[in-house]
Amino acid sequence: MEKLDQIDAQLLKLLGEDSSKTIKELAEQVNLSHTPVFERVKRLEANGYIKKYIALIDAEKLDYGLIVFCNIKLKHHDKSIGHEFVTDILQLSEVVECYNISGDFDFLLKVYARDMKHYQDFVFNKLGSVTGIGSTHSTFVMCENKNTYNVNF
């Protein structure tokens, strides 16, 4: 893996904080002209340091204010069950993040729902139809204190 210099690190930090910054704004903040900043950003994208650009949407404004972390334990472990589970989970719009984890559970899902009734419907009718689930455990978020995708290094 290539070594990033201080300018590359600064560009990643700036874009991680606000991916809508223009090349002109970035250039001003790192004290370089537009062309080298443009080339650096393109290189960071091409080398996979920047996966994609996203907007953080306020779920509450869209009436999806209930955040739930749902732990999933599979019935048993084999390649086909795990693959089928992930394939099915990717189709559920309420699931915004899915992690294969170690410990007492196999997967951790971050779920947005309108309210408890919506989450109950999600669990019974959508999650309940996913193949291979042995058990679930839900944790409800009372207050979101930090929400960022920025990696600080």
Q: Which domains does the chain have, with CATH numbers?
A: 6-46 (1.10.10), 59-140 (3.30.70.920)
Predicted TM-score (pTM) of this structure = 0.86
Phi and psi angles of residue 117, each rounded to the nearest 5 degrees, phi first? -60, -45
- Our CA angle for 152, 150, 63, nearest 5°, is 150
Handedness of CA 26, 32, 38, 43 (dihedral sign): negative
Instruction: Let me know if 73 is exposed, middle or buried by CB neighbors in 10 A (0-12, 13-18, 19+).
Output: middle
Q: Which candidate, 104, 107, 103, places its Cα nearest to that of 95?
A: 107
Q: For every one of its 153 residues, what pLDDT tens digit does the chain have, with 9 covering 90 and above? A: 678 999 999 999 999 999 999 999 999 999 999 999 999 999 999 999 999 999 889 999 999 999 999 999 999 888 888 899 999 999 999 999 999 999 999 999 999 999 999 999 999 999 999 989 999 999 999 999 998 888 877
How confident is the model at residue 69, as a pLDDT? 98
CB contact at 8 A, 68 and 138? yes
